[in-house]
Structure 1
C-alpha cells in the first residue's frame, strides 16, 4: 500500500490483485482489458434477466449505435429505464465493462437497463462518443412503446468518463429539446480537462487512475493541443458550463472517491448544480480510490452500492 494514503483496509488488501490501467499504449490496454473481461463474462449470472442487443440509427453520416438491453424476465407493464454509460477514460471499454453492474440494477430496480456502445477516442474524438450516446438515447425514446418502457422515467448512470458523458448528455438533451431525463447519477465523473483542482494536482501516483492517466485520456478525447485551452466546449467538459447553463437540469447524485484525481471536480460540479438550483446530492467515500467499485466485497463499496441503488430507486419511483 502507498504509505501516504489512508486506504480502507479491505481495499488496500485487494490492490495487489487489481490490474494496472496504463493507457500510454491504447491498443495494448484494450487487449489487456478484453482478456480480463472474458473471464468475468463467462461467470456472469444472468438468471431472471433477458439480455439482448439492438441497434438504432447513429448520428449523421456515422454507423448505427449498438445498445445492450437488460430486462427483468418477470416484469409487467411499461418499465422505467437506466441508461448506462461505461467508463474507460474515453479510450477503453464497452458494455461488457459494466455487465455485472447492469444485471444488478436490472434486478434491484425492476427496470430496463440500456448500455450504450459508443465509439472510442482517439480514433473517434469528441464529439463522436457523445453524439453516439445521444443517438442511443433518442433511439430508446423513439421506440419506448415497442420496448415497453416509460419515456418519462429515464435516468442516466455513468462511471468515470461515462459519468462525464452522462453529465454532458444531460446538457445536450436539454439544449436540443431531446428525450427527457429524470435523473443523472454520476460516479467519479471526469468533468474537467484543465486538471487544476487540488486533487488533480496532488494525486500523481494513486492506484488505477492518476493525474497522468487523466491527462492522457483528455488529450485522446479532445485531440492534440486542445486540452486546457479556452475553446473547450462544456459538452466535452461539463465543468466548464456556467451557472446559467446548469439551471433547469434534472436532479443529480454525485459520488466521489477520497484518493482520486477526479474527486474535486466531481464535488465542485455537485456544488455548482446546487448553486444553479438543481437538487444534487454529493457523497464522498473515505479510504477509496478511483475504480474501487471493482472490490465488491469491501464494506465501503457495499455501502456505496446500496446508496447508488437507493438513489436510482427513488428517482425512478420504484
Structure 2
C-alpha cells in the first residue's frame, strides 16, 4: 500500500469506509440480537449536527452500561462504523449499549472540530441515557488510534467541564503527542504501518502550522495536559514497535503518578494496529483477550438491571 498523502487521501478514505476487499461486512446485528440505528444529533454550538451509530440489545428489557466509541483514522479518515464491530458482543450479551460518533475530519475540519464533535456526542449520550437504556452512572469511553487520542481529549474535557462522569477510559494505541520528539516517533521511516511521515501528516492536518509549537491545547494533544488527576480508571495499550509507543508509556506513567488506576500493556513485536491488521496472530489474540477481560470486568462492576416501566 502506498504511503498516505494528500493526493491519495480520498482514495484511502473510501477504502477504509468500504472495509477489507473480499471480506463480508461485519454483522453488527449479531444475528438479530442487536438493534442498529443511525441518528443525527446536535453538534457543538453553531456547528452542524453529527451522526451517531447506536447499538443496543434487541431485548430492550435491561438498563446496562454505556460504551461511547471513537473510531481511528489518523484524524483524517474513518466513519462511525469503523471498528465498532469489536464491541458488538457486549451489546448482544446485554452488557452494554454502544454509541459510536462520526466526527468531522481534518484537514477540512482542523482542531477543535473533531474533539468538539466527540464531546457533543458524549453529552448527547449522557443526556439521553434513560432513553438509550444506559446506566448514566456507568458510562465508559473507548477509542482506537486517533480515536484513542480523541477519547483521552474528550475525557479531559468532560473532567474540566464537570460533565458527564466517566467510569473508565479504554485507549487503544492512542495518538497523544504532536511534538514527535520521542525515539519511537522517529524510528519508522518508510517501514511498517503509520510511520513518522504519516504521523506528521496527521498532526499537521489537525493543527496546521501550530503542530509542535508552544500553544497546542491538550484537547488536541492530550500529552500536553499538565494535570491528569480526576480522570477515570484507564486501560491503555501499544505495540513495542509502533510510532506511538513512547508517548503512550509516558501518558500511562503520568496518569498513574496522578493517582489514576491504570492497566498498561505493551505487546512485544506489535506494530500500530497489529490486532486489526493481523487478528489471527498470537500476539493479537492475546492482546484482544486481555482487553476484553478488562472491559468485561468494568461492565460487570454495574451489572444490567431491569428497565423501569415507562423507560
TM-score, normalisation: structure 1: 0.88
Distance (whole Å) between structure 1 residues aligned to residue 57 and residue 82 of structure 2: 20
Coordinate RMSD, CA, aligned? 1.8
**1:106 Cα deviation from its structure 2 partner:** 2.5
1:306 to 282, 289, 295: 289
Distance (whole Å) between structure 2 residues aligned to residue 108 and residue 291 of structure 1: 26
Q: Residues 53 and 81 of structure 2 are in contact (CA less than 8 Å); yes or no, is this contact kept in structure 1? A: no
**1:206 Cα deviation from its structure 2 partner:** 3.2
CA deviation vs aligned residue, 1:45-93 (integer Å, no higher than 9, x gap) = 6212111112221101111111101112235321101111000000000
> Where is the helix percentage greater, Structure 1 or Structure 2?
1
**1:95 Cα deviation from its structure 2 partner:** 1.7
Task: State the SS of the aligned residue for 1:124.
Answer: coil
Q: Does 1:235 align with 2:212?
A: no
1:261 to 243, 259, 264: 243
Residue equivalent to 1:288? 270
Equivalent pairs, count: 297
**1:251 Cα deviation from its structure 2 partner:** 0.9
Structure 2, unmatched stretches of 5+, are: 304-311
2:172 to 187, 199, 204: 187
Distance (whole Å) between structure 2 residues aligned to residue 105 and residue 213 of structure 1: 33
2:12 to 29, 33, 40: 29
**1:144 Cα deviation from its structure 2 partner:** 1.0
Q: Does 1:252 align with 2:234?
A: yes
Q: Residues 69 and 84 of structure 2 are in contact (CA less than 8 Å); yes or no, is this contact kept in structure 1? A: no
**1:198 Cα deviation from its structure 2 partner:** 1.2
Residue equivalent to 1:150? 135
2:111 to 126, 133, 136: 126
Q: Residues 28 and 36 of structure 2 are in contact (CA less than 8 Å); yes or no, is this contact kept in structure 1? A: no
Distance (whole Å) between structure 2 residues aligned to residue 22 and residue 277 of structure 1: 38
